[in-house]
A and B are shown apart, each in its own frame.
Chain A
């Protein structure tokens, strides 16, 4: 009964979404105010209806209602409650519903908080948002309906894919989807702006918070996925350039570029066309990601059960939305005229370089992901495009990007002076060199790539700190004055600084994990001890346990340093009898400096008393996750900036930004 209620709500949501496209878009065209106001109410109604549908499905999962086919296929009565809940989005149909829930949630937010938007712009934004919603609601109802019943009702379910029964992966999709779907708002704003024929700094100010929300969430989602891969796959890798990982990386790259180019539009009233292009690209790549995961065109471990028919429909949806937006862009784009001018050495230029490099990396990821398919169509052979391909291009490009970043942070708008920047950079660069030398003195020289990576990581962090202290005029007067100055900095400045520091920290983490790893693999019987990077690891016992819906083969290891036991590690191999699948759960001792990582392997010995054991010492992994969290946190801090809350700035503030106020403004209130 409740499932039918949800089903019905979903149908109603489709109707509401359809009306939300037709009425507001027409009203915005004719200037009919009542029609435009309709958009807000429709957006809210659509969200409530999809929320009802979502809870109806969740109810079916929690109560293990196996008469619902989707529940039967992806749940089991003995599954822990948390995975019954996460099972809702652990499958194609349910995750589509979550996708829609987030899309309508953001639409409702635009309706609620968009009071300061011009009515016609708001109506158009919501109309476009609903257009996306209509397409995917129809897709969901007609091809991927999660509410279909089955008869006879099975006794128990087929269980959720065991790989998904994991805290990291349970909450990874909601973040990822909020990131994907969040880009839809920037998309809707762009298409609406093209329809309006107007892009100005105010437009960029409206777009940025939504993009920040999507970007932060996507950053966390990707980090969670990498974290999951790290502890779940039994050998400590975290990024594989797998098609599905690439699918999440592409919108992230486009979103990062968009965030930066939107600042230029907001502050300097130029790069408008490009920013619109990036906004459309960001959402297009999100749609592409949705298509990749569900179509089966590209094989990947992360993908859901594939269905070619659905793939074709999804592709059609992607093509219509993306293609339509780009056609509109080609027709209406000319209307956007650039504003302010700037010199070659300026923050604008650094941001343009940032966008150039991010776009090229995005292109490479896109090409590499689809090349096997393209090549098969053209030449009939399907080559593999693996990590070596991406690394050859991405590592040098990211290095160059990092250098521009360190410069860009310290460059003023409009006109910079290379010499001044060099002087400002000197402290940061000097300390970075010293830190790098110390790091390699302590660890021993490994290779040049590690040195470069280390240098850049430190440099970015120090460059950001230099920027903050210069603006505070620290060391240049009483500390109270500096602190008072700092308390007046806008939140977006702090957000940007945090995110930039996060990038530096993440780079250090990448260098540490990939270049200083120590690996030990051997056969151990209980009582054996091995050495790993200054620790002793003693295998105590192996036991077989029945837990919830799986059987666990759990090892107990003592981690010993200098003769004292510092930790007990319990790696597992799990067998899920219903799904007939095995998973491995590594045991990790996380520390600031390095992780110790133990994974249990196949049995050995005459009576299976021994096990293959893989032990790793992963330095600086914490920094990888910490840096990502810092980036996402920076994004969130930036959203809370005052200027996004109060809406349009007062005329006075705008005056200060008029294009003819030349000269570097190191003392001005910092931007981001």
Chain B
């Protein structure tokens, strides 16, 4: 595995579980060409098995997932690039198969809101911290009435 693929593997901690046990890629599906097989695995990890609950085709043993895995390998053998394979499958099965949502206008909020929250939250936090730094307002001196009241209090305490 190359570094990049290791990284991808780490990022794609992959999706959920079958209700049945998942064995995923059968040894008999594996391509002879190792580099091509690695690409196939990488693409598979980003594609959702449409009949499963929240699982990538790399993890699923559903027959539809197996068909898709074979399709991915078929397209790779035909010389498609990774992006071409993915878009080939998206064209046929819809955006739903992508585990990473597209950067599209419909998903603007999905991708933008976290950044906005971080920015707004950061701004508020910094604002709050700056407020904190200012020394608290000087206490107002007591007015005449209060001075008298205070003197009384002290006097009473002394007496008792």
Minimum distance in angstroms from A524 CB to a CB of chain B: 10
Give the interface segment out of B24-32, B67-75, B77-85, B147-155: B24-32
Asked whether A304 is an interface residue with its Cβ less than 8 Å from the other chain, the reply is no
Within 8 A of B (CB), among A373-405: 375, 379, 381-389, 391-393, 395, 397
Q: How far is the CB of A235 from chain B (nearest CB, A)?
A: 6
Pair count A-B, CB < 8 A? 179
Docked complex Cα distance between A229 and B15 (Å): 11
| A584/B54 in contact, CB under 8 A | no
Contacts of B10 in A (CB 8 A): 447, 449-450, 514-515
Q: Which residues of B contact A388 (CB under 8 A)?
A: 11-12, 46, 99-100
| A242-B114 CB under 8 A given contacts A342-B132, A514-B10, A582-B21 | no
Question: For residues 70 through 124 of chain B, which have their beta carbon under 8 Å from a beta carbon of chain A?
Answer: 94-102, 106-107, 109-110, 113-114, 117-118, 121-122
- Asked if A384 and B7 sit within 8 Å, CB to CB, the answer is no
Q: Does A614 contact B (CB under 8 A)?
A: yes
In the bound complex, do residue B96 and residue A352 qualify as a contact, i.e. CB atoms below 8 Å apart?
no
Task: Report whether B98 and A383 are in contact in the complex, using a CB–CB cutoff of 8 Å.
Answer: yes
B40 within 8 A of A: no
Residue contact A240 to B16, C-beta cutoff 8 Å = yes
A235, A384, A517 — most chain B CB neighbours (10 Å): A384
Most buried by B among A239, A348, A514, A599: A514
Total chain A interface residues with beta-carbon distance under 8 A: 68
Of the residues B25, B53, B125, contact of A521 by C-beta under 8 Å: B25
* A368 and B19 form a contact (CB under 8 A): no
Whether B36 sits at the interface, judged by CB under 8 Å, is no
Residue A446 lies at the interface, judged by CB distance under 8 Å to chain B: yes
The answer to whether B54 touches A242, judged by C-beta atoms less than 8 angstroms apart, is yes
CB <8 Å contact, A163 and B19: yes
Identify which of A7-15, A172-180, A325-333, A356-364 touches chain B: A356-364
- Provide the residues of chain A in CB contact with B20, threshold 8 Å: 581-582
CB nearest neighbor in B for A388: B100
Q: Counting CB contacts under 8 A, is B129 at the interface?
A: yes
Q: Does B135 contact A (CB under 8 A)?
A: yes
- Is A583 in the interface zone, CB < 8 Å from B? yes
List residues of A (495-536) whose CB comes within 8 Å of B's CBs. Answer: 514-515, 517, 521-523
Known contacts: A352-B125, A612-B23, A612-B26. The answer to whether A383 contacts B101 by CB under 8 A is yes
Q: Which residues does A use to contact B, with CB under 8 Å?
A: 163, 229, 233-235, 237, 239-243, 270, 299-301, 341-344, 348-349, 352-353, 356, 359-360, 363-364, 367-368, 371, 375, 379, 381-389, 391-393, 395, 397, 445-447, 449-450, 514-515, 517, 521-523, 573, 581-584, 599, 601-602, 612, 614
14 contacts between A and B (CB under 8 A): A234-B21, A235-B59, A301-B18, A352-B125, A360-B114, A363-B117, A375-B106, A381-B94, A384-B99, A386-B15, A388-B12, A389-B110, A517-B9, A582-B21
